[in-house]
Amino acid sequence: MAEDVPTGSDPFPNSISGVTNKASWKHRSPYKIQSDEEFGPVKWVGRCQCGQIEYKLNREKPLKSKYCHCRGCQVLHGAPFQWATIFHKPDITFTKGADGLAFYSSTEKSREYMNPTKVSCSFCHTPIMDEGRNVCLLFPAAIDYGSTEQEREKWIRAFEVECHIFYSCRAVEIPDRKPKWSGLDDRSELLDDSGNPKKT
């Protein structure tokens, strides 16, 4: 599993000095500072509830959007299910508060930075994203959609989910006719809106 995770030797795991191995995350996407030219046109801006963390996206539509009904997401998000969208790491950059991020590895039960990790605001604890090895699972609920009805609809369309995963753990039924997987997408059984195995 955790391939590049040294243990117990670094006294400043989240140091901003950049001299330690574990601090090297600051120099990689999505955490490294990028110039506006380097990053390109901004398509979306997201922020945590307290405003300490702010990020921008240079991609209009995520690679994929899903609702995850698994137990881990229910507990960690305090919600019946989690709304997640997948982005390449270089699609995201923090414009405010990259030093104010908190990390949590649910497998290691550790708050030291490691990969994969769950990223939230260290002050208000708004969940920002799950950083995986190759992509980030960003939570579009924190993305700003402006103030008009048209802007809100654009946001809904951009992040509309393709499917539900871990629907067998659902707290609520969603009759939206989207594909519903009992576990992971493409690697589990397809269920109908009521959670019964889908007849093919």
By the criterion CB under 5 A, which residues form the site for Zn ion? 48, 50, 52, 68, 70, 73, 121, 123-124
CB closer to Zn ion, 153 vs 189:
189
Residue 83 vs 123, nearer CB to Zn ion? 123
CA distance 1 to 153: 40
Give the length of the chain.
200
Strand ordering across the sheet containing 44-47: 44-47, 54-57, 92-96
Report in angstroms how near the CB of residue 153 gets to Zn ion at its nearest. 27
The minimum distance between CB 83 and Zn ion, in angstroms, equals 11
Nearer to Zn ion, 121 or 158 (CB): 121
CB nearer Zn ion, residue 26 or residue 164: 164
Sequence-distant (≥ 6) Cβ neighbours of residue 53 within 8 angstroms: 47, 94, 96, 97, 98, 100, 101, 121, 126, 128
- Minimum CB–partner distance for residue 21 and Zn ion (Å): 27
